[in-house]
């Protein structure tokens, strides 16, 4: 019951209205008990006595009750409609907000469909429950109780029959409750799985199509869909047992009332009229008892829905301001932009394996540092620590000497601008997507940012220029175009600290060079951390750090590292180039070449650039491939 | 590249005018395979309704006849009546048991089929459709709308039939009991008819609005959660919250209107019922007093009348679930009604048998391409790629490289001309055969929920563990995977299974190795890799895919290094075509690009 009880504060805030709804529900139920009595009176009284004039009052009474009942029904639904509809969206807003402030690591551990199904299916189940299920669940037992009391006052034995019947009813309720609750939990979790499958199948459509794996995806979907079907059928089967018990027991009670009542008439302790009245009341009671089955099932599904809702709301708040809260728009102070990683460790919460361990790194204000490392070496993790998308598990990240965990999160995120390897655009205009980096920027600033990102040309050719809608609901742009818009967003407003995670992997080298130069010229004061795969990017940085084994393995200028770090040479593809430089035009293999790295690079110190240019001319086709170049297909 | 979205605005406008008909046709087509069961259920409905109507008759018999006779000492009639009543109760219970079960099972079967059908259809829709529509919207069709249909099918279809039939039975009983009184009841149907008619149109609209607005909420939700990194890094939370509030307010208003529509409908229906009951009492009393009707008849009449209007509440409820489900079915029907523009052939041709490991030739003849009636993205051109050739496609963003490869992989069909592999038109190939022969890897590397091994097996679901390991080894992923908590069985979303974008791309390549196609298309597929990984992959490609045809788009020199031939594209045209050496030594675009690349090297 606890998950449902936790909605009490919401209920209490509208308690007046909700109480009125309860009263109206009770009234509607109660009227069903009263009307048969009045009609009975009319038939036995005025009509039997053929007294037409005595008919008017009771008839007006029936009419009045009829109108009250209809108006009550109308009013109950009218009143409850906006209340529950508002609750549904309020709960969704809370769920949404909880997730908005939940760290990326926790997001990654949830299947996306589980979040969506909670925000939609489960909340509409709860809306239905609070609109209909709960008021009836609250009033139905009262009606049954009042009916039983009426029966008892009419004839204690009849009341006793009802109570005897209550025993097997309660037993079956408790059996049903346990089994149904389990089935309902699993079924609603499976809806989450279905949602995940659906989302994945649509988001991965290109991959499924290019491998022709739609049938495979359909088979996978079929499995969850079958699981869901089985669970729902199981619920229906449980329903069928419970339902038939709830139909059977009250009728058995009625039969008992007739049988025992008749025996009482014969024995003289009751009258025929009493038996008739008893049967009438028990007839009226059948409806609420039968409904109990539906209400109970509904309540159990709502209980599951509520539990699933609270599981999300209860997600631990792990990345917050120092005081545990989260201020959306804190004041932003002045910083020089010195960024220091001090003995930083990082491991994901569900594993002991450290992605970063004992990492030290210092970037001076205004400096540009390139981070280079092999695939999977933790570069992206390192970048995500700066805006606190993840938190260090050991050590400290400091800006101007201040532990970033002591800054309000959004002050930090104001200071730090990030561009991700997967560019994320929102469904709005180009201008708004870029302006997000520095809200309040004018068009001039936007164009300047676009220019830095080498996006000015293509944006000015878009159908509606800056106002063109992009993102999933807008124009579809190429990967390179999206990356450049995301980059423009990162650089607008001249951020104090700029974190660029391989921001231009999908654009050509020429464009990348232009961007690099523009960054240096226009943003000389921004401290920049750039993750690089290409030598040209690294060459333009003030300092390069090589990430390996979770720590900085080497650091220096591009030229220094080429001399001192074999790993760096390998990462920059330089070993092969250097070896080829030794024997230009030689059709040697990369493997062979790498063995000569040290001597080659040592000899290439003075006029490195020439050597490499030479290598690029003569050797490039021969360099990295061992066999491909021997084919002659290209010359047909 | 750029096509405007179709469904940005209010969708209601865009549903075809006959969508209600199509939704009904869809409903019928779903129920038709279960016709036998439907008939059986109809029999059960009749029996249930009978049992419900007949039960009170035995009670009445027991009270009117049995009790007085039992008092007089003759217990027979009473015992008989009670026994009959209990029998009818047992029958009711058994019928309820059977019907609940069968309805549940049948409804779930129908829903299963519908879900599978929509899923398969969405998969069949061409890439053009997917690029134009939002993923969230297609998700909402398959989840939230499906839920609406489920609500109706599992809770209402049977109840509706039962309630209607019960009313028919009682109506017959009423006529048998007393014709004039029955006529009064039937007169009450006239206002009911108009009330229902009015409710039909208002409720249909309200429910359509709820479906459209919840879809928008879902789109927003999916977009926000998918882009959570950017949302947090750029402090978009207040803005996102505001958008949700705006869209959810529309949903709330639509929902409130729908619920209030139910309030009016239910209120009026109940009022008509109650007024009719009062009129019956007055008219009945008058008839009795005038001696035209028996008191007992009137009493029975009033009792039955109450039961007659009882199911009406259920009908109101069912009516609304039906309206809501119809609105949802319309949306689903609209998806099912969209024909893919890239259609499989009715009579597929087969490709000639190729040697193990051989490539296939690709020919584009008089090909022209534009999105819809828009400007030509690719003006008419010809291109012949012999089997086994490695072609590098080079050009600025937007030059048409991606479009060209999307034609070769038949993500789109050309507006004019034909594309063949080994002389067979792509349009004549069965999808499975086409995909087995032509595989494309793009920059996006999606991981499905499940293990790493399963994710690599996308390339070839029948591959054994050895082949999976071999593929992972070829791309240099094996050592990393072996270090994971559960090795190849590590769940990519759980316990330490996180892969960097570079590693995800390696998984994409491992898939290609398993798929072993004749023609490989790589669209920026190595963008996220560091240079050593890229070399490793290319070495592996060169050895493993020796002899295959390949079309490679990349911005890096290293890619061109392995090409036999380079095509330079600009504004949709191929402006240079030759071996890398020819082009480098020339003075064209490629020579310039090549110089820039060289400068970018170390």
For residue B2, give the nearest of A237, A476, A635 by CB distance: A476
Tokens of B552: 């490679």
For residue A628, give the nearest of B62, B67, B562 by CB distance: B562
Burial of B565 (0-12, 13-18, 19+ CB in 10 A): buried
pLDDT for position B13: 42
Q: What are the chain B neighbours of A55 within 8 Å (beta carbons)?
A: 281-282, 285
Packing angle of the helix pair A134-154, A15-42 (nearest 10 deg):
40
Q: Which residue has the higher pLDDT, A332 or B16?
A: A332
Residues A225, B112: C-beta atoms closer than 8 Å: yes
Q: Is there a contact between A332 and A91 (Cβ–Cβ < 8 Å)?
A: no
Tokens of B222: 């999916």
* CA B527 distance to own-chain centroid: 33
Residues A374, B531: C-beta atoms closer than 8 Å: no
Q: B230: part of which helix (H) or strand (E)?
A: helix B228-233
3-state secondary structure of B378: strand
Above 60 in pLDDT, residue A614?
no
Say what the alpha-carbon torsion angle A444, A445, A450, A453 is, to the nearest 10 degrees: 150
Residues B264, A74: C-beta atoms closer than 8 Å: yes
Q: B-contacting residues of A 417-436, CB under 8 Å?
A: 417-418, 420-422, 424, 426-427, 436
Q: Is there a contact between B410 and B388 (Cβ–Cβ < 8 Å)?
A: no
CA distance B173 to chain A (A): 19
Q: What ipTM was predicted for this assembly?
A: 0.90
Angle CA B458–B460–B465, to nearest 5: 95
Percent of chain B with pLDDT over 70: 96
Question: Which backbone phi and psi does A213 adopt, to 5 degrees?
Answer: -100, 15
Question: Which backbone phi and psi does A607 adopt, to 5 degrees?
Answer: -115, 60
pLDDT for position A340: 96
* Spatial CB neighbours of B357, under 8 Å, sequence gap ≥ 6: B546, B547, B548
pLDDT for position B409: 93
Above 90 in pLDDT, residue A308?
yes
Residues A262, B71: C-beta atoms closer than 8 Å: yes
* Residue A134 CB neighbour total at 10 angstroms: 25
Q: B-contacting residues of A 264-303, CB under 8 Å?
A: 265-266, 272, 275-276, 279, 283, 287
Helix, strand and coil content of chain B, in percent to the nearest 5, comes to: 65, 10, 25
Query: In a mutagenesis test of the B interface, which of A205, A257, A283, A572 is the best target, namely the one with the most B β-carbons within 10 Å?
Result: A205
Of the listed ranges A157-171, A241-255, A503-517, A601-615, the least confidently predicted one is A601-615
pLDDT for position B505: 86
Tokens of A159: 């009341």
pLDDT for position A561: 92
Taking the Cβ of residue A328 and every Cβ of chain B, the question of whether any pair is shorter than 8 Å is answered with: yes
pLDDT for position B194: 92
- Choose from A284-288, A342-346, B100-104, B317-321 the range with maximum mean pLDDT: A342-346
Q: Which of A591, A396, A580, A438 is nearest to A523 (CA)?
A: A438
pLDDT for position B5: 39
Q: Which of B82, B89, B56 is nearest to A249 (CA)?
A: B89
* Spatial CB neighbours of A307, under 8 Å, sequence gap ≥ 6: A3, A185
Domains of chain B: 10-336 (1.20.1560.10), 362-601 (3.40.50.300)
Q: Which of B547, B597, B527, B579 is nearest to B537 (CA)?
A: B527
Q: Within chain B, how many helices (H) and strands (E) appear?
A: 23, 10
Above 60 in pLDDT, residue A223?
yes
3-state secondary structure of A330: coil
Q: What are the chain B neighbours of A272 within 8 Å (beta carbons)?
A: 63, 67-68, 71
pTM (2 d.p.): 0.88
Residues A328, B235: C-beta atoms closer than 8 Å: yes
- Cα separation values, A212 from A224, B116, B520, Å: 21, 17, 14
pLDDT for position A633: 35
CA–CA separation, A620 and A616 (whole Å): 5
**b or e along A437-476 (b: 16 or more beta carbons within 10 Å of the residue's beta carbon)?**
bbeebeeebbbbbbbbbbbbebbeebeeebebbbbbbbbb
Dump the DSSP string for A546-561: EEETTEEEEEE-HHHH
| Residue of chain B minimizing CA distance to A623 | B561
pLDDT for position A473: 65
Q: Is there a contact between B426 and B345 (Cβ–Cβ < 8 Å)?
A: no
Q: A-contacting residues of B 326-385, CB under 8 Å?
A: none
Dump the DSSP string for B219-273: HHHHHHHHTHHHHHHTT-HHHHHHHHHHHHHHHHHHHHHHHHHHHHHHHHHHHHH
3-state secondary structure of A146: helix
Taking the Cβ of residue B225 and every Cβ of chain A, the question of whether any pair is shorter than 8 Å is answered with: yes
* CA A139 distance to own-chain centroid: 36
CA distance B518 to chain A (A): 13
**Mean pLDDT of the residues in chain A:** 84
Q: What are the chain B neighbours of A241 within 8 Å (beta carbons)?
A: 97
Burial of B477 (0-12, 13-18, 19+ CB in 10 A): buried
CA–CA separation, B452 and B454 (whole Å): 5
Q: How confident is the model at residue A624 (pLDDT cuts 50, 70, 90)?
A: very low
Low-confidence stretches of chain B (pLDDT < 50) are: 1-13
pLDDT for position A37: 73
Longest dimension (CA), chain A: 127
Residue for token pair 């298309």: B521
Residues A42, B281: C-beta atoms closer than 8 Å: yes
Of the listed ranges A75-84, A365-374, A558-567, B166-175, the least confidently predicted one is B166-175
3-state secondary structure of A256: helix
pLDDT tens readout for residues A482-496: 889 999 999 998 899
CA–CA separation, B492 and A389 (whole Å): 20
Q: Which residues are paired to B167 by β-bridges?
A: none
CA–CA separation, A486 and A137 (whole Å): 53
Q: Is there a contact between A453 and A498 (Cβ–Cβ < 8 Å)?
A: no
Residue for token pair 């009880």: A5
Task: Please compute Rg for chain B using Cα positions.
Answer: 35
For residue A387, give the nearest of B233, B386, B543 by CB distance: B233
Residues B143, A120: C-beta atoms closer than 8 Å: yes
Q: Which of A199, A530, A85, A554 is nearest to B222 (CA)?
A: A199
**What's chain A's length in residues?**
636
Query: In a mutagenesis test of the A interface, which of B7, B65, B111, B397 is the best target, namely the one with the most A β-carbons within 10 Å?
Result: B397
| DSSP H helical ranges for B457-530 | 465-474, 478-482, 501-515
pLDDT tens readout for residues A573-583: 765 444 444 43
Q: Is there a contact between B521 and B441 (Cβ–Cβ < 8 Å)?
A: yes
Burial of B126 (0-12, 13-18, 19+ CB in 10 A): buried
* Spatial CB neighbours of B511, under 8 Å, sequence gap ≥ 6: A211, B441, B455, B456, B458, B459, B471
| Pairing mode, strands B573-578 and B565-570 | antiparallel
Taking the Cβ of residue A574 and every Cβ of chain B, the question of whether any pair is shorter than 8 Å is answered with: yes
Query: In a mutagenesis test of the B interface, which of A64, A262, A268, A375 is the best target, namely the one with the most B β-carbons within 10 Å?
Result: A375
Dump the DSSP string for B41-53: HHHHHHHHHHHHH
Above 60 in pLDDT, residue A56?
yes
pLDDT for position B495: 53
pLDDT tens readout for residues B56-82: 778 878 877 877 787 787 888 888 888
Taking the Cβ of residue B57 and every Cβ of chain A, the question of whether any pair is shorter than 8 Å is answered with: no
Q: What are the chain B neighbours of A205 within 8 Å (beta carbons)?
A: 123, 127, 130
Q: Which residues are paired to B111 by β-bridges?
A: none
Q: Which residues are paired to A176 by β-bridges?
A: none
Q: Which of A415, A456, A460, A457 is nearest to A438 (CA)?
A: A415
- For residue B9, the number of C-alpha atoms closer than 13 Å in the C-beta half-sphere is 5
Query: In a mutagenesis test of the B interface, which of A376, A404, A423, A514 is the best target, namely the one with the most B β-carbons within 10 Å?
Result: A376
CA distance A6 to chain B (A): 22
3-state secondary structure of B388: coil
- For residue A547, the number of C-alpha atoms closer than 13 Å in the C-beta half-sphere is 31
Residues B411, A101: C-beta atoms closer than 8 Å: no
Residues B237, A631: C-beta atoms closer than 8 Å: no
Q: Is there a contact between B335 and A202 (Cβ–Cβ < 8 Å)?
A: no
* Spatial CB neighbours of A325, under 8 Å, sequence gap ≥ 6: none
CA–CA separation, B412 and B372 (whole Å): 11
Residues B143, A252: C-beta atoms closer than 8 Å: no
Q: Which residue has the higher pLDDT, B371 or A625?
A: B371
């Amino acid at each position: 019951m606890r998950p449902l009880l936790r909605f009490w504060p919401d209920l209490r805030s509208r308690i007046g209205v909700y109480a009125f709804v309860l009263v109206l529900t009770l009234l509607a139920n109660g009227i069903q008990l009263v009307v048969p009595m009045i009609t009975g009176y009319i038939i036995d009284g005025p009509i039997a006595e053929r007294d037409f004039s005595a008919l008017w009052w009771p008839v007006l009474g029936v009419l009045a009750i009829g109108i009250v009942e209809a108006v009550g029904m109308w009013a109950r639904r009218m009143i409850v409609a906006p209340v529950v509809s508002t609750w549904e969206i309020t709960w969704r807003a809370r769920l949404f907000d909880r997730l908005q402030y939940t760290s990326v690591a926790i997001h990654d551990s949830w299947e996306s469909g589980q979040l969506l199904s909670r925000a939609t299916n489960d909340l509409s189940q709860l809306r239905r429950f609070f609109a209909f299920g709960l008021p009836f669940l609250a009033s139905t037992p009262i009606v049954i109780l009042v009916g039983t009391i009426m029966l008892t006052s009419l004839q204690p034995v009849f009341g006793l029959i009802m109570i005897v019947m209550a025993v097997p009813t309660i037993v079956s309720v408790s059996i049903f409750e346990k089994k149904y609750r389990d089935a309902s939990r699993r079924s609603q979790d499976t809806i989450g799985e279905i949602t995940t499958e659906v989302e994945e199948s649509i988001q991965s459509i290109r991959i499924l199509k290019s491998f022709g794996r739609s049938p495979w995806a359909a088979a996978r979907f079929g499995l969850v869909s079958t699981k869901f079907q089985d669970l729902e059928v199981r619920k229906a089967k449980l329903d069928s047992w419970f339902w038939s018990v709830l139909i059977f027991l009250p009728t058995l009670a009625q039969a008992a009332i007739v049988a025992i009542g008749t025996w009482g008439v014969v024995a003289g302790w009751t009258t025929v009229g009493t038996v008739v009245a008893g049967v009438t009341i028990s007839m009226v009671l059948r409806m609420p008892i039968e409904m109990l089955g539906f209400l109970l099932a509904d309540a159990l599904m709502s209980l599951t829905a509520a539990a699933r809702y609270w599981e999300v709301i209860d997600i631990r708040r792990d990345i917050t301001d120092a005081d545990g809260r989260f201020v959306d728009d804190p004041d932003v102070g002045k910083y020089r932009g010195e960024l220091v990683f001090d003995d930083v460790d990082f491991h994901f919460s569900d594993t002991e394996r450290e992605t970063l361990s004992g990492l030290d790194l210092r970037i001076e204000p205004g400096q540009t540092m390139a981070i280079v490392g092999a695939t999977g070496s933790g570069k992206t993790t390192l970048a995500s620590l700066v805006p606190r998308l993840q938190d260090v598990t050991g050590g400290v990240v400091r800006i101007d000497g201040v532990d970033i965990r002591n800054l309000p999160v959004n002050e930090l995120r104001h200071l730090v601008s990030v561009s991700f390897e997967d560019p994320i655009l929102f469904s709005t205009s180009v201008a708004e997507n870029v302006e997000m980096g520095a809200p309040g920027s004018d068009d001039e600033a936007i164009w300047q940012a676009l220019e830095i990102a080498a996006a000015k040309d293509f944006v000015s050719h878009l159908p509606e220029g800056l106002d063109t809608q992009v993102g999933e609901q807008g124009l579809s742009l190429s990967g390179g175009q999206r990356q450049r818009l995301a980059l423009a967003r990162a650089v607008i407003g001249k951020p104090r600290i700029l974190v660029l995670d391989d921001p231009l992997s999908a654009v050509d080298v020429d464009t990348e060079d232009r961007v690099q130069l523009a960054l240096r010229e226009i943003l000389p004061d921004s401290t920049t951390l750039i993750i690089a795969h290409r030598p040209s990017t690294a060459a333009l940085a003030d300092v390069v750090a090589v990430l390996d084994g979770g720590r900085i393995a080497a650091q220096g200028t591009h030229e220094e590292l080429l001399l001192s770090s074999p790993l760096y040479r390998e990462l920059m593809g330089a070993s092969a180039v250097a070896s080829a430089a030794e024997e230009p035009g030689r059709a040697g293999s990369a493997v062979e070449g790498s063995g000569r790295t040290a001597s080659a690079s040592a000899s290439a110190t003075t006029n490195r650039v020439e050597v490499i240019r030479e290598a690029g001319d003569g050797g490039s086709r021969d360099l990295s491939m061992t066999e491909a170049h021997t084919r002659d297909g290209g010359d047909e | 590249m750029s096509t405007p979205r179709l469904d940005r605005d209010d969708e209601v406008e865009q549903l075809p005018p006959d969508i209600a008909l199509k939704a009904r046709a869809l409903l019928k087509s779903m129920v038709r395979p279960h016709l036998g069961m439907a008939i059986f259920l109809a029999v059960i409905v009749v029996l249930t309704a009978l049992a419900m109507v007949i039960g009170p008759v035995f009670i009445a018999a027991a009270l009117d006849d049995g009790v007085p006779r039992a008092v007089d000492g003759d217990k027979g009639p009473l015992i008989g009546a009670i026994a009959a009543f209990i029998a009818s109760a047992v029958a009711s219970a058994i019928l309820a048991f059977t019907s609940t079960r069968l309805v549940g099972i049948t409804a779930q079967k129908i829903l299963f089929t519908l879900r599978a059908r929509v899923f398969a259809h969405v998969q069949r829709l061409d890439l053009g459709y997917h690029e134009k529509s939002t993923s969230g919207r297609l998700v909402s069709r398959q989840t939230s709308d499906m839920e609406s249909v489920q609500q109706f099918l599992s809770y209402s279809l049977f109840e509706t039939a039962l309630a209607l039939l019960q009313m028919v039975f009682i109506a017959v009983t009423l006529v048998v009991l007393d014709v004039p009184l029955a006529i009064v009841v039937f007169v009450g149907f006239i206002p009911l008819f108009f009330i229902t008619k009015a409710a039909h149109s208002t409720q249909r609209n309200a429910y359509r609005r709820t479906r459209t607005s919840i879809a928008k909420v879902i789109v927003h939700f999916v977009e926000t959660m998918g882009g959570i990194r950017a949302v947090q890094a750029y402090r978009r939370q207040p803005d996102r919250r505001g958008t949700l509030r705006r869209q959810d307010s529309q949903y709330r208003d639509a929902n409130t209107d729908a619920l209030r529509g139910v309030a009016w409908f239910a209120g009026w229906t109940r009022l008509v019922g109650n007024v009719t009951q009062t009129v019956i009492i007055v008219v009945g009393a008058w008839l009795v007093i005038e001696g035209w009707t028996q008191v007992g008849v009137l009493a029975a009449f009033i009792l039955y009348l109450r039961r007659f209007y009882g199911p009406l509440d259920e009908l109101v409820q069912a009516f609304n679930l039906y309206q809501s489900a119809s609105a949802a079915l319309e949306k689903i029907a609209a998806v099912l009604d969209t024909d893919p523009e890239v259609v499989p052939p009715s009579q597929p041709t087969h490709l000639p048998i190729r040697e193990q490991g051989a490539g296939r030739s690709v020919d584009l003849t008089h090909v022209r391409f534009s999105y819809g009636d828009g400007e030509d993205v690719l003006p008419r051109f010809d291109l012949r790629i012999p089997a086994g050739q490695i072609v590098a496609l080079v050009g600025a963003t937007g030059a048409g490289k991606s479009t060209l490869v999307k034609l070769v992989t038949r993500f789109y069909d050309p507006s004019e001309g034909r594309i063949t592999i080994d002389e067979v038109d792509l349009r004549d190939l069965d999808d499975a055969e086409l995909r087995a022969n032509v595989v494309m890897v793009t920059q996006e590397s999606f991981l499905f929920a499940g293990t790493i091994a399963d994710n690599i097996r996308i390339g070839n679901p029948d591959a054994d563990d050895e082949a999976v390991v071999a593929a992972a080894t070829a791309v240099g992923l094996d050592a990393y995977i072996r270090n994971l908590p559960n090795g190849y069985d590590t769940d990519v979303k759980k316990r330490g299974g996180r892969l960097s974008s570079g590693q995800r791309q390696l998984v994409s390549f491992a898939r290609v190795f398993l798929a072993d196609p004749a023609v490989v298309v790589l669209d920026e597929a190595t963008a996220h890799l560091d240079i050593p990984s890229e070399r490793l992959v290319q070495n592996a490609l060169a050895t493993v895919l020796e002899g295959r045809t390949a079309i490679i788009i990349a911005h890096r020199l290293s890619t061109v290094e392995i090409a036999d031939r380079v095509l330079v594209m600009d504004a949709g045209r191929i402006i240079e075509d030759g071996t890398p050496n020819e082009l480098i030594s020339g003075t064209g675009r490629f020579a310039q690009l090549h110089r820039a690349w060289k400068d970018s090297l170390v």
